[in-house]
Structure 1
Amino acid sequence: MINRENYTNENSKVVDSWVKNGWLWSIPVSHEAYLKAKEGEYDIVLTPTKSVPHEWFGPLNGKRVLALASGGGQQGPIFKALGADVTVLDYSDMQLEREKEVAIREGYEIKLVKADMSKPLPFDDSSFDLIFNPVSTCYIEKIEPLWKECYRILSKDGILLTGVDNGINYIVKDIDEREITHSLPFNPLENPLLMEELMKDDAGIQFSHTLGEHLTALLNAGFKLTNIFEDTNGDGHLHELNIPTFAAIRVIKE
């Protein structure tokens, strides 16, 4: 039975199954892309289509980077190529395995941590200079505890980069995105019909969090907002209408 205590375990298993089926966000970077990154040529995304501006990162050589819910061998290898000391946290065994495969292929060491980001993070205060978190908070019910934990484990002047879903994807049917069918908030732990729908679609257990909710939680945690941009799904009807469904956010711990 799925409840508030174990729903993230279900998501871990679902992501493992996606990886086995060739999920887009589990396809590691190529050897060629890794070599280009060592020369300073790279693109990293927090959201489906738009690359993060390089100035958002600042110099990465020697920086302590946490790739949060960021397994899959896509971002970690780029950070390593740029000289960062990288830790990858993910709750999917298969995503961490992809990360390990790239590290073996390229001959570097990387710290891999299996942990649930809906719980207290297993790191000391001020452990990192940069946290990179691609879209993943839609798989946890409460975002406030996570952003407080990120603030805690960042050093002074540390940077948090996160990609977030703004909730619009949850009000429409995935099939054609032309009909509004759900109200917000979208919370399957509160609505059994939503849970049934997600289970039928093998979509994992997902939750809506609006952009306003994220920004409020980040500011309440103590962060200062320094930059933001919006992005679309990359395909589908909402994308064709240029409707933003995601945002990339940069905040700092002063």
Structure 2
Amino acid sequence: MPAAGVLRGVGPLRQDDPVPIDTADSWDRYAAAYQEAARWPATVVHYGPDLPTEDDLRLLGDLKAKRVLDLGCGGGQNAVVMARAGATVIGVDLSVEQLAHARELAAEREVRVELRQGDLADLAYLRADSIDLAFAADAFGYVEDLGRVFRQVHRVLKVGAPLVFSLPHPSWYLVGGGTADPLTVRRSYFDRSAVVRSVGDAQLTEYPHHLAELLTGLVRASYRVDQVVEPEPPVGVPRSGLWDEAATRVPRMLIVRARKEGS
């Protein structure tokens, strides 16, 4: 199994081509292989595979006594790091298996993390203006309607509090996905159709989000963008099992920090 997954359907998917839906079941089946390939250390907040970490980027600020919402928390590595830094962390994920890993990790590291299984936009259990930081590492690429997530997160954030997230860079879909030649363009930048990746016996649906869509969605949901990062992979460090050589030519991830405005 190629660690980065196999890209299927580089153009618009045909009507007669069954479109696998990115469900909790898909992530449940992929969770163990993903954790093994990614090898996330629970020592520093990460933003995605083979990227600079929070120690390098400094986007989150002091976490002590902060109430943090970790959207798409996965195996819980970031949630554990933030909890150990003094934050009260609520982790949300679709996958029961990913959350099981997070629960075990939190117990092993002797920290308390509140874990909830559900959709990233279903935040009715949180009071308005109660969150100091919302964070999402490589989770929003699996969300089709990001505007809904932005609006729901806006409701629970305190005024001026940041939403910090990473997701696949829109240019990544042109070349990424395990190609032998990192300069081969496999897909039009203007193609808005979903991308299906086969990983083992699971199939995950990703939704490319272009810069104009992201920035317009944030502005409409009353955020002010104050940081955009297109990180290069660090030099001279071991690569994860999710490494793709195309990342040396095209940014793999886009990182955005936006702050809540209004009420």
Q: TM-score by structure 1 length? A: 0.79
Give a deviation string over 1:41-70, Cα, whole Å, max 9, x none: xx3222331113564222211110011101
For the Cα contact (< 8 Å) 1:166–1:247, is it kept in 2? yes
Distance 1:227 1:114, change over 3 A: same
Tell me whether 1:179 sits opposite 2:184 in the alignment: yes
Unaligned runs of 5+ in 2: 1-16, 234-238
> SS of the residue aligned with 1:213?
helix
Determine the structure 1 residue equivalent to 2:252.
245
Q: Partner of 2:123 in structure 1?
A: 121
**1:80–1:215 CA distance, 2 compared to 1 (3 A):** same
Q: Aligned to 1:20, which of 5, 24, 32?
A: 32
1:25 and 1:158, CA in 2 relative to 1: closer, same or farther beyond 3 A? farther
- Partner of 2:5 in structure 1? none
Paired letter, 1:58: G
What amino acid is aligned across from residue 224 of structure 1 in structure 2? R
Q: Cα offset for 1:26? A: 6.5
Structure 1: segments with no counterpart, 5+ residues: 34-42, 189-193
Aligned mates of 2:144, 2:72 — CA distance in 1:
15
CA distance in 2, matches of 1:89, 1:27: 20
Task: Say if 1:75 and 1:51 are closer, same or farther in 2 by CA, change over 3 A.
Answer: same
Post-superposition Cα deviations, 1:129-186, rounded to whole Å, max 9, x if no partner, equal 1011001111121211111111111012211110022222323362314422323334
Name 1:40's counterpart in structure 2: none
- Supply the AA of the counterpart residue of 2:29: S
> What is the total number of aligned residue pairs between the two structures?
230
1:161 matched to 2:161: no
Report 1 or 2 for greater relative contact order, CA contacts < 8 Å, sequence distance ≥ 6: 2
| 2:48 paired residue number | 47
**Does 1:146 find its partner at 2:143?**
no
Structure with the higher helix share, 1 or 2: 1
CA distance in 1, matches of 2:79, 2:37: 13
SS at match of 1:205: strand
Structure 1 residue aligned with 2:11 = none
**Following the alignment from structure 1 to structure 2, what is the Cα–Cα distance between the partners of residues 104 and 51?**
24
Contact preservation (8 Å) 1:47, 1:135? yes
Percent of aligned positions with the same letter in both sequences?
A: 21
Match of 2:92 among 89, 111, 135: 89
1:101 corresponds to which of 99, 104, 119? 104
Distance 1:25 1:248, change over 3 A: farther
Counterpart of 1:7 in structure 2 is 21
Question: What is the root-mean-square deviation of aligned Cα atoms in Å?
Answer: 2.7
> Separation in 2 of the partners of 1:244 and 1:136?
17
